[in-house]
Copies of this chain bind each other. A is one copy, B any other.
Amino acid sequence: MRREAERMNIDLIAALRARLGDGQVSTADAVREQHSHGEGHHAPSMPGAVVFARSTDDVAQSVALCNAHRVPLAAFGAGTSLEGHVNPPEGGISLDLSRMTDVLSVNPKDMDCRVQAGITRQLLNHTLRDTGLFFPVDPGGEATIGGMCATRASGTAAVRYGTIRENVLGLTAVLADGRVMRTGGRVRKSSTGYDLTHLLIGSEGTLGVITEVQLRLHPIPESIAAAVVQFETLSEAVATAIDILQFGVPIGRLELLDDVQMDASIRYSLLSGLRALPTLFLEFVGGPESVREQIGVVEAIVEDRGGLGFDWQTDPNQRAALWRARHHAYWACLAYRPGYSAMTTDAIVPISALGELIVGVKADIAESGLTAPIVGHVGDGNFHTIILVPPTPDGLERAWALDRKIVRRALALGGSCSGEHGVGLGKREFLTDEHDPVALDVMRVLKRTLDPNGILNPGKMLPGESR
């Protein structure tokens, strides 16, 4: 720890304190430790100091000072990153935006709002509760909107509402030199200028620090129904999902849990009447007639595909219980093997290849001897293998090995190493295989052009890219 503190530029911290006030700059060990990691298994690394920003101007001043002192910085939101995005491997400043939680404006007629980047989805939706509108992108954890933008997040509702990418109209970001840039606007669409909004989304804090976001909102559906259907085989479950999409059913959510995950979830969430078999969790949203019609279409597909019964409900309590079980999948896994930790993969393939991929992955899991339930956003072709890491000396190594095997399989099937968690520290090594070399070269050129001193979240995303 002393080494990090030494490496840290004492002048910079003094300048930050002078500019922002002592209350917004901390070098306390406990605070630095909390900012040394996200929720993944990547080695933590201590920042030299943590700056708590309250405004875009605070961020701009901090970044400008870091740039002047050539000290790196990593933005920090809720710390829910699974791929080490928030870890500062080279030390420097952790720039905490979690106090930037203001809803700056809500425009009900235009169904949009503007928020500070540190607000969580949950707090935003709480604030919106009387408008009849909501923000649908739901990555599971209590992530901040800024973090979701930076990692191009999505979640269970993406099959209906799109990912964060489709739900951001514009944003404010601080560039490496401390300048404040405003992109996009409030209009639904525009054909003027380069799409800087989407250049920032998914850039993982390496091109700028996102401080404000203009979001699209959606009307809360009039009617919501939930259903569960079980299958003897995984391929029947996947074929059913493909049919549902091809029939144009505007499904609200479409999730797949494999037999192992179901075993864990049945135990944890006390799901009665369900067996440890491949299972689809479905949600139908829309007007009541539309929902009834969707259920009818899906029921016919399920019957055709050999589904074992089809149970649906509109009762809010039962619906909530079902989806709570889905949302608690991760905790169910942890309870399944007490004392183990969980490492979550994030592979994605074209949906036509999903069945083949999961069959291969299950063989890999069996060969590894590990327990690894599978749960996924089948409508997007994206799924998570929740690898349960044994508390043994070789546990983490075995889990990494399985994780890497799964990624290789997905890439071989035309997929991506990450559907929604991002690259961070954890997936850098795969970018060379996943992306065209010219595209990767252009990414590097953009990074060097927009951050010539390499201060913005160095060592993340681009393989071999460091200061």
Q: Are B439 and A182 in contact (CB under 8 A)?
A: yes
Kindly supply a per-residue 1/0 record for chain A positions 196-231, scoring 1 wherever the CB is within 8 Å of any chain B CB and 0 otherwise.
101101110001000000000011111000000000
- For residue A161, give the distance in angstroms from its CB to the closest CB of chain B: 11
CB distance from A285 to the nearest CB of B (A): 9
Report whether B438 and A348 are in contact in the complex, using a CB–CB cutoff of 8 Å. no
Docked pose: A294 CA to B287 CA in angstroms:
8
Do A446 and B446 contact each other (CB < 8 Å), given the known contacts A191-B419, A418-B190? yes
A158 interface residue (CB < 8 Å to B): yes
Residues of B within 8 A of A245 (CB): 111, 219
At the interface, yes or no: A89 with Cβ under 8 Å from chain B? no
Q: Are A218 and B248 neighbours in the complex by a CB distance under 8 Å?
A: yes
With A187-B381, A381-B187 as contacts: A219 and B194 at CB distance below 8 Å: no
Known contacts A151-B191, A419-B191; A182/B438 CB under 8 A: yes
Among B165, B431, B461, point to the contact of A189 (Cβ < 8 A).
Answer: B165
| B-chain residues with CB within 8 Å of residue A175 when the two chains form the complex | 438, 442
User: Is A412 in the interface zone, CB < 8 Å from B?
Assistant: no
Q: Say whether B293 contacts A187, CB under 8 Å.
A: no
- Within the assembled complex, what's the spacing in Å between the Cα atoms of A421 and B423? 35
In chain A between 129 and 162, which residues have their CB closer than 8 angstroms to a CB of chain B?
A: 132, 151-154, 158, 162
B202 touches A221 (CB 8 A): no
Query: Which of A152, A154, A181, A190 has the largest count of B CB atoms less than 10 A from its CB?
Result: A190
Query: Which B residues are CB-close (under 8 A) to A435?
Result: 192-193
Interface check A69, CB cutoff 8 A? no
Give the shortest distance, in Å, between A140 (CB) and chain B (any CB): 14
Q: When A199-B198, A416-B185 are in contact, do A350 and B289 touch as well, CB less than 8 Å?
A: no
For A162, A179, A350, the residue with the greatest tally of chain B CB atoms inside 10 Å of its CB is: A350
| B246–A181 touching, CB < 8 Å | no
Residues of B within 8 A of A443 (CB): 193-194, 196
A15: chain B residues within 8 A (beta carbon): none
Is residue A364 contacting chain B, with contact meaning CB distance below 8 A? no
Residue of B162, B187, B286 near A416 (CB, 8 A) is B187
Whether A90 sits at the interface, judged by CB under 8 Å, is no
Complex: how many Å from CA A420 to CA B221? 29
Is the Cβ of A250 less than 8 Å from the Cβ of B248? no
Hey, which chain B residues are within 8 Å of A380, CB to CB?
Answer: 187-189
Chain B residue at minimum C-beta to C-beta distance from A133: B246
Q: What are 29 A-B interface contacts by the 8 Å CB criterion? A: A107-B350, A109-B351, A109-B352, A110-B350, A152-B189, A152-B190, A152-B191, A153-B191, A165-B189, A175-B438, A181-B436, A183-B439, A185-B414, A185-B416, A186-B350, A187-B350, A187-B382, A187-B416, A188-B351, A188-B381, A191-B202, A193-B443, A193-B461, A195-B198, A196-B443, A286-B290, A289-B289, A290-B293, A445-B450
Chain A residues near B (Cβ < 8 Å): 107-112, 132, 151-154, 158, 162-163, 165-166, 175, 179-183, 185-196, 198-199, 201-203, 207, 218-222, 242, 245-248, 250, 286-290, 292-294, 297, 346, 348-352, 380-382, 414-423, 427, 430-431, 434-436, 438-440, 442-443, 445-446, 449-450, 461
